[in-house]
A and B are shown apart, each in its own frame.
Chain A
Amino acid sequence: MEALDKLFYLLAATLFISGLKKLSSPATAVRGNRMAATGMLIAIVTTLGFGGIVSWPMVIAGVIVGSGIGLFLAKTVPMTSMPQMVALLNGFGGGASALVASAEYLRLFNAGETPLIDVGISIQLSVLIGALTFSGSVIAFGKLQEIVTGKAVTYPLQKFLNALLLLTLVGMAGWIVAGSAPIWAFYVVVGISLLLGILTVIPIGGADMPVVISLLNSYSGIAAAMTGFVINNHGLIISGALVGASGIILTNIMCKAMNRSLANVLFGAFGASPTGTIGAGGGDAGDLTVSEVTVEDAAMMLAYARSVIIVPGYGLAVAQAQHDVREMAELIEGNGGEVKYGIHPVAGRMPGHMNVLLAEANVPYPQLKDMDEINPAFPRADVALVIGANDVVNPGARDDANNPLYGMPILDVDKAHHVIVMKRSMNPGFAGVDNPLFYAQNTSMLFGSAKDSVVKLVEEIKQL
C-alpha cells in the first residue's frame, strides 16, 4: 500500500520524460505537452489521495486561487511578453520550493526536533536556491517589463558585498544544520537568499536576460529536486533534475550564441556603459560607400527571386510586422520562389522566442531554420532580406579578429547573391560595432521603419 503512491509518482515522472521527448518535433509537441500535464495531474491526485491531508479547506482554496491566476496569465499574456511570463513562472516555482522547505523546517523546529544532517543540508539548499530564484526572477521580470532599469546596475564593492553575504549565509546555514541555532538564524538565511537573488540579477544588462532566464529556469528545477531530498520524494527529485538539465543546456546555448562565458554574463556587467571605442574597425572608412535601394527595385528583386532567405531580428517583432512579412513571403511563393527564415539563437528575447512570434503570424514551421541549418543555404540564395537584425549578421564577427564581436557565430547573409538590409538609419547595433555588411558590393540598404517598408513591399509586389 505504501509503495503504491511511489509507483504513481514514477508513472508521473515517466510521462514527464516521454512528454519532453515528444518536444523533439513540432508535429508531436502538442501531444508531449498533454502527456506531461497528465503526469502532473496524476502526481497531484496521488498526493491528495495518499498524502494523509487533514486541512482540506486551505488546500482546496490554494489550488483554486493558484489555478485561477495561472489560467488568467496563460490566456492573456501576449507572445511578445513570453520572456516575462517565463521569468515569473520560474520565480513561482522556486518560491514554492523554498516555502515547502521552510514549512518543513518550522514544523521540525516547533516540534523541538533537529533534522538529520542530510535533511538539514537539503532544507538550507532548497531555501537558498528557491528564494534566490524567486527574487532573481522578480527582478528579471521587472527588467523585461521595463519596470526596473534594463541597464546593468553597478556600485562599488559589489562583488565583495555579495561574497560577504554568501559567507554569512553559509555560516548561518552551518549553524542551523549543526542543530543549536535559534529561529532568527533561519530568517537571516531566508533574507540573505532573497537579497542575493536581487543583487546577482540587478547588475546584468537587459540584453543578457535570455541567459539569466535560462539559468533561473535551471535553478527552479534544482530547487524542486532539493525539496525532494527534504521530503524524501522521488517524483520531485526526478522532475527537478530534468528541469535543471534543461535550463543548463539552454544557458549554454545562449552563451555560445553570444560568444560569452557564463561568468562574463553574470559578473561582467555588460551594458553598464558604452563598450569601449566604437568605430569602423577596418580603418579605411574613407572609401566605404553604401548603396541604397528603392522600394520598387527591392520589390522587383524579391518578386522574381527563386530563393529568398528572410533574417528577422527583434526589431521586426517590436514593429509588429510579422504578419506583413508572412504576406510578402506568400506573394514570393506565389511567383514560384522559395522562402525560408534564418533565425539566430539570440534573435528574440529568450531562446526560441522569434520562432514563436513567427508561428503566431502563421508562418509554417518547416520554413523556420536555425543557424546551422540555414548557413549552407546562403550561397545559393538569390536574396537575403535582413529585417531589424544587425550584430548577428556582421561578417566582421567571422572574418576580422580585431572586431569586438569576433568569434560570435553569425548568419552568413553576406554570401547570398544580393542582400537587402532594412534599417531605420546607419546607427550601429546594440554592441555599438560598425557592420561591414552594409558597405559590401552585394548589399543594398532599404531605409525606413520595418513595418512601413514591408507594407510597401507587399503593395509593390502585388502590382508586379
Chain B
Amino acid sequence: MLEGLVVLLVIFVLAMFIGFEVITKVPPTLHTPLMSGSNAISGIAIIGALLVFNTGDGGVASWLGFVAIVFAMINVVGGFMVTGRMLGMFKRKSEDES
C-alpha cells in the first residue's frame, strides 16, 4: 500500500516541477488568461465527480456527486471558454471591431 502512495507522490512532485518550469515562462501580459486557463484545468476533478457514479449506491453520495459534476463542469466549460474569449482579444496589430 505504501508503495502505491510513493508512486503517486513521485508523480505529484515531478508534476509540480514541470508546472514551475512551464509557468515561469508565461509573460505577465498573459497572467489573467493563465489563471482562468489553469483554473479550467483544475476542473479535472470532473473525473472524480463522474466516478462517484460507478457504484450505483444512490443516496447522499450520489447527490454530492451530482453537485460535484455541476461545479466541475462550470469550472471546465466556463474556464476554457472565457480564456478563449480573452486570448482572442490579443492582436498583433490594431484593427477595427472584429
Report which A residues bind B (CB closer than 8 A): 9, 12-13, 16-17, 19-21, 23-27, 29-30, 32-34, 36-37, 40, 43-44, 47-48, 51-56, 58-59, 61-63, 65-67, 69-71, 73-75, 77, 79, 82, 85-86, 89-90, 92-93, 95-97, 99-104, 106-107, 110, 116, 118, 213-214, 217, 220-221, 223-225, 227-250, 253, 326, 330, 343, 345, 348, 350-353, 355-356, 359-360, 362-366, 368, 370-371
Q: How far is the CB of B12 from chain A (nearest CB, A)?
A: 5
Q: Are B61 and A107 in contact (CB under 8 A)?
A: yes
Q: Are A214 and B65 in contact (CB under 8 A)?
A: no
In the complex, chain B residues whose CB is within 8 Å of the CB of A61:
66
Q: How far is the CB of A71 from chain B (nearest CB, A)?
A: 6
Complex Cα gap A100–B66 (Å): 10
Q: A74-B81, A103-B64 are in contact. Are A33 and B33 (CB under 8 A)?
A: yes
Residues 1 to 56 of chain B near chain A (Cβ within 8 Å): 1-2, 4-5, 8, 11-13, 15-20, 22-56
Q: Are A54 and B73 in contact (CB under 8 A)?
A: no
A-B contact pairs, 29 of them (CB 8 A): A20-B19, A30-B87, A33-B33, A43-B44, A48-B50, A51-B54, A58-B62, A85-B78, A86-B32, A95-B71, A96-B45, A99-B64, A103-B68, A106-B64, A118-B2, A118-B4, A220-B39, A234-B8, A236-B44, A236-B47, A238-B11, A240-B44, A242-B18, A242-B41, A243-B38, A250-B31, A355-B29, A364-B94, A368-B29
The number of chain B residues touching the other chain, given as a range, is 35 or more
Partner of B78 from A29, A89, A97 at Cβ < 8 Å = A89
Q: How far is the CB of B54 from chain A (nearest CB, A)?
A: 4
Q: How far is the CB of A370 from chain B (nearest CB, A)?
A: 4
In the complex, chain A residues whose CB is within 8 Å of the CB of B37:
19-20, 23, 32-33, 36
In the complex, chain A residues whose CB is within 8 Å of the CB of B26:
20, 23-24
Residues 56 to 88 of chain B near chain A (Cβ within 8 Å): 56-62, 64-88
Q: A96-B75, A243-B42, A355-B32 are in contact. Are A237 and B12 (CB under 8 A)?
A: yes
Complex Cα gap A36–B62 (Å): 28
Q: How far is the CB of B59 from chain A (nearest CB, A)?
A: 7
Query: Counting chain B CB atoms within 10 Å of each CB, which of A29, A217, A235, A371 scores highest?
Result: A29
Q: A245-B19, A351-B28 are in contact. Are A359 and B77 (CB under 8 A)?
A: no
Partner of A241 from B19, B83, B86, B94 at Cβ < 8 Å = B19
Complex Cα gap A95–B11 (Å): 23
Interface residues of A, dominant DSSP: helix
Q: How far is the CB of B48 from chain A (nearest CB, A)?
A: 4
In the complex, chain B residues whose CB is within 8 Å of the CB of A366:
92
Partner of B39 from A9, A99, A102, A243 at Cβ < 8 Å = A243
